[in-house]
Amino acid sequence: MEQIHYISPAPLTFEKLDDLLSQDIKVKLSEEATQLIQRCKDYLDNYLVQHDGPVYGINTGFGALHNRSISKEDLSKLQENLLKSHACGAGKEVPKQVVKLMLLLKAHALSQGKSGVQVLTVQRLLDFYNNDIYPIVLEQGSLGASGDLAPLAHLFLPLIGFGEVYYKGKKVSAQSMLKQEGWHPIKLEAKEGLALLNGTQFMSSHAIYTLLKAFQLSKYADVIAALSIDAFNGRLDPFKEQLHTIRPHAGQIETARNICSLLKGSEIISQENKQVQDPYSFRCVPQVHGAIKDAINYVAGVVYTEINSVTDNPIVFPDEEMILSGGNFHGEPLALAMDFLSIAMAEIGSISERRTYRLISGERGLPEFLVANPGLNSGFMIPQYAAASIVSLNKQMATPSSVDSIPSSNEQEDHVSMGGNAATKALKIAINVERVIAIELYNAAQAIEFRRPLKTSTYLESFLAEFRKSVPFVTEDIIMYKEMEAAVEFLQSGQFDEFNS
């Protein structure tokens, strides 16, 4: 039976978005959304018939050209020109899953009935979504101020028969795609181009995609840290509940509980004659991983509000009989949040790399570089180099984008958020962090074998057994990049992302 999600004013949740990305679920406009969209469109059309005065972006130019009046005969051409002129993106193509989210989020925002668009326009966005038609959107070009103008222009060019799309797995012209589907280009009416381009869906879609990855990586970071703690013959004392109830940050308490649960029943952790103290990268996992969890949850709250908001301009209020030009398209909330997420994600990688280093350093009975004959074999020396390189890059990329602003549109747009850059960088950092913790897993799995015949916990032994199906134990030097990549793919499979805490 076909699964359907109905686009409506009801809030989108991260759980629903995850389902939509991972499952074959079609989307349709609900009856409520259809009525809201049509009612707003009718009000706008009547308003333009009854009023001759300027309304920004509807019968005027845009940005610094807001004082230029446009005749009624040219209102459609004005909107078409807007899409063409603003499609000035640059750089790499945006991942298809992010483009899919952009289509969904724009349709969801327009379904609130505050944007003055045609039902047909929204329906065509859903047609793209349901038929896996992905417009080519380029990564660079958004200032995150008047919305994500350049990337959204690329996203919606195919509506009017321009630009390129991925269609049936191939890159083709939008004109060719429309012809094959038997669709006519949308004839944009008053305000529609502006409603499509003004909005934060480029930033928001990157934020969702990054957060879904961050939720998973945060869980994996705890699992892999627990394995490293046992491999390093660490102490359980720093994770006991009493320590954390007197500094009750939610993430800290959750992390300490997770580590205790993950190591429950371990023969290694229960040994006597431990070192008096462990290095910070082991001992302070609750404080560091916990703060990262709290940061991720904060960012998720900001993004949840944003994706369920109306962010174009001007905004039409049929019930109040008002059309208001404001600044809901400004990306500052997302810019600050995504910079925060970048910093938090970079810290997962930073502390992970330090644990990797301690595992290969020849401490606590482990052989140098985790091989039986170091010297002849370099063992796990260079995977740590790779992790260090990635961590350093993350630190550079975590420099906030939101502290910068470059005026545009002849100073009409004199403060911008740079949220587009913040959002794309955050995704790159999350992808890098996935690789860094995969390298830690590769090292910790190797190190734990030198603790045999003692076993770690039942959960971690099961986790290791599954990992070993993809990545073997290393007895002497091999070419390691394939195993490192296999470790990344293991994490991406998501088979062990849940455990009982």
Report DSSP letters for 89-146, one per residue.
-EEEEPPHHHHHHHHHHHHHHHTTS-S---HHHHHHHHHHHHTT-EE--EEE---SBS
Q: What is the pLDDT of residue 58?
A: 72
Give the residue numbers spanning the domain of 486. 206-310+343-407+414-493
pLDDT in tens, 356-410: 999 999 999 999 999 888 788 899 999 999 999 999 999 999 999 999 999 888 7
pTM above 0.75, yes or no: yes
- Note whether residue 472 is domain-resident: yes
Whether residues 172 and 258 fall in one domain: no
- Note whether residue 32 is domain-resident: yes
Report the SS3 class of residue 233.
coil
Report d(CA 445, CA 157) in Å as an integer.
49
Domain boundary among 199, 215, 230: 199
Helices first, then strands: H and E counts in the chain: 18, 9
Q: Is 56 a catalytic residue?
A: yes
Q: How many CB atoms lie within 10 A of CB 438?
A: 26
- Note whether residue 357 is domain-resident: yes
Percent of the chain with pLDDT over 70: 95
Domain boundary among 199, 220, 246: 199
Q: What is the CATH number of the domain that holds 249?
A: 1.20.200.10
Whether residues 90 and 52 fall in one domain: yes
Asked if pLDDT for residue 77 goes beyond 90, the answer is: no
Active-site hit among 47, 56, 220, 459: 56
- Note whether residue 57 is domain-resident: yes
pLDDT in tens, 192-212: 998 999 999 999 999 999 999
Whether residues 289 and 247 fall in one domain: yes
Of 323, 237, 314, nearest to 283 by C-alpha is 237
How far from the centroid of its chain's Cα atoms is residue 338's Cα? 9
Whether residues 379 and 397 fall in one domain: yes
- Note whether residue 499 is domain-resident: no
Whether residues 168 and 242 fall in one domain: no
- Note whether residue 325 is domain-resident: no
Domain boundary among 167, 184, 199: 199
pLDDT in tens, 445-463: 999 999 999 999 999 999 9
The residue behind tokens 């020849």 is 362
Asked if pLDDT for residue 70 goes beyond 70, the answer is: no
- Note whether residue 293 is domain-resident: yes
Could you tell me the pLDDT band of residue 51, with boundaries at 50, 70 and 90? Answer: confident
